[in-house]
Amino acid sequence: MQADLTMGNIASALTLQTEEAALITELRAGSEEAFSWLIERYHQPIYSLLARTVQDRGDAADLTQEVFVKIFKGIGSFHGESSLRTWIYRIALREASNQRRWWMRHKQQEIPIEHEMGEGSGANAVRLKDTLVDPGESPFDMAAHAEDRARVEAALQRVPEPYRTTLILRDIEGFVYEEVAEMQGVNLGTVKSRLVRGRAMLKTLLTEPSAAPRSLALAGY
């Protein structure tokens, strides 16, 4: 009886290894279906993990997307040193660690808006919020932002379909995932897969040397 259970466990483990190897092969080949399945399987667990491990739970959704961007871009270098699941969770934990370090650095540098500056007390105290400048953009800032928008629009045109349309609907037009899925006639996992891959492509295009902001080039950077 014990021998039968042991053989059954070995057979089950071998089946899982074979299935994982097939999935990795599909992912490396750029299969949209495989990546869609991967997101459906791991999106919620990774989100839950990040929501519990970062300082600001509001960052968990963005970090989850970043994790899948890293998976999409790094799957070609994954050679099975560990299970796929372990590799994915390792990426997530690294992103959480980076986020915590960033949060601590910036939190330490923050000055409360009610912080009293200089001398004085009570009604005569000068607070930080009282010294804030006009929040309106300067002409330079407006020009720089307009230039950045033009760069994004130009890069967006180079993202192939259907990823470009998914980016436009979700990130620019602001539709929720379910609405995007209905508009495109696909399931929710496919929308998330296209969004992750589209964002990865756009990010790559925007970080190309030729995509550097003109304002920086003029400044001699």
Digit-coded pLDDT (tens) for 143-161: 767 778 888 888 988 999 9
**Predicted pLDDT at 35:** 93
Q: Which of 101, 132, 163 is the last residue of a domain?
A: 132
65, pLDDT greater than 70:
yes
Q: Report which of residues 17 and 52 the model is more confident about.
A: 52
The pair of structure tokens assigned to 218 is: 């003029």
Overall number of domains in the chain: 2
Same domain membership, residue 55 and residue 158? no
- pLDDT of residue 112 exceeding 60, the answer is no
Mean pLDDT rounded to a whole number for the chain:
77
Name the phi and psi angles at 79, rounded to 5.
Answer: -115, 20
Mean pLDDT is lowest, of 15-24, 74-83, 108-117, for 108-117
Residues 123 and 153 in one domain: no
Same domain for 84 and 116? Answer: yes
CATH number at residue 205: 1.10.10.10
Q: What SS3 class is residue 203?
A: helix
Q: 66 with 122, same domain?
A: yes
pLDDT average, residue stretch 133-150: 67
Nearest Cα neighbor of 195 from 174, 210, 216 is 174
Q: Could you tell me if 151 and 172 lie in one domain?
A: yes
Residues 43, 126 within the same domain: yes
3-state secondary structure of 187: coil
pLDDT beyond 50 at 202? yes
For residue 66, what are its two tokens? 């970043």
Cα–Cα distance, 190 to 37 (Å, whole number): 8
**199-221 per-residue burial string, b: 16 or more CB within 10 A, e: under 16:** bbbbeebeeeeeeeeeeeeeeee
Average pLDDT over residues 54-64: 85
- Shared domain for 120 and 148, answered yes or no, is no
Q: Find the domain containing 117 and state its range.
A: 1-132
Overall pTM > 0.85:
no
- Is pLDDT of 198 > 90? yes
**What is the model's pLDDT at position 195?**
93
In angstroms, the CA 24 to CA 79 distance is: 9
The pLDDT > 70 percentage for the chain reads 70
- Residues 73 and 153 both lie in one domain: no
Amino acid at 10: I
pLDDT tens per residue, range 11-38: 454 466 778 888 889 998 989 999 999 9
Are the beta carbons of 32 and 53 closer than 8 angstroms? no
d(CA 149, CA 83) in angstroms, rounded, equals 41
CA distance to 24, 30, 59, 102, per residue, from 62 (Å): 25, 23, 6, 15
